[in-house]
A and B are shown apart, each in its own frame.
Chain A
Amino acid sequence: GNSVTQMEGPVTLSEEAFLTINCTYTATGYPSLFWYVQYPGEGLQLLLKATKADDKGSNKGFEATYRKETTSFHLEKGSVQVSDSAVYFCALSGAPITGGFKTIFGAGTRPFVKA
């Protein structure tokens, strides 16, 4: 079945450092890939998405490229800020052949950014 594996941490960074959170997936068909972010005390919100191979999603300085050959969707940001401290979830949503809307989440990664 479909699954998502992401690095868990802990991840501690200094402000303005480069952030990478690895995410790999297993899926049949052609899933859509997402990064969701959960700030302290808030619900999940979509950070970025990619719906086909080689697509690059980007938002708020974060980027991720859908790599079918390596089944990966790593999240990157060139210069993190303290305000980026949150939990980041990699997720996939199946193609119609595998069930449509159902979303599978990774375990979540919580980078801690020090000032």
Chain B
Amino acid sequence: GAVVSQHPSWVICKSGTSVKIECRSLDFQATTMFWYRQFPKQSLMLMATSNEGSKATYEQGVEKDKFLINHASLTLSTLTVTSAHPEDSSFYICSAPTTSGGWAYNEQFFGPGTRLTVL
């Protein structure tokens, strides 16, 4: 199946610094990618939809100036957490849908996640 990678897998940073997380589709092209946040023992919260060649679409309540998304190519999307604070500590997951078979399938391939800890 399709493979999505994330880098780094974990990162620790000081409060006030910025952190960039990369999401790559390794063997397919993804014009759309999604960024989620997962709190311990909770479900995935969709943060934004990353669109290649255009601006990201953010979900209600997500600060676009704090979580910068850039979809630089058909295989790469990046999430930058700017001026990180301890409350930004979380597990960040990206995914990319496959369009195989048409819209009806919409299966998502998930990256392994990035654990961010802000001190």
User: Interface of A with B (CB < 8 Å)?
Assistant: 32, 34, 36, 42-46, 49, 51-52, 89, 93-96, 100-108, 110
Contacts and interface: CB of A to CB of B under 8 A. Distances in A.
B110 A101 contact: no
Q: What range describes how many residues of B lie at the interface?
A: 20 to 34
B22 to A, nearest CB: 15
Nearest to B45: A105
B42 interface: yes
B43 interface: yes
Contacts of B95: 44, 103
A100 B106 contact: yes
Contacts of A96: 103
B106 A32 contact: yes
A52 B81 CA distance: 39
Nearest to A104: B46
A46 B108 contact: yes
A105 B43 contact: yes
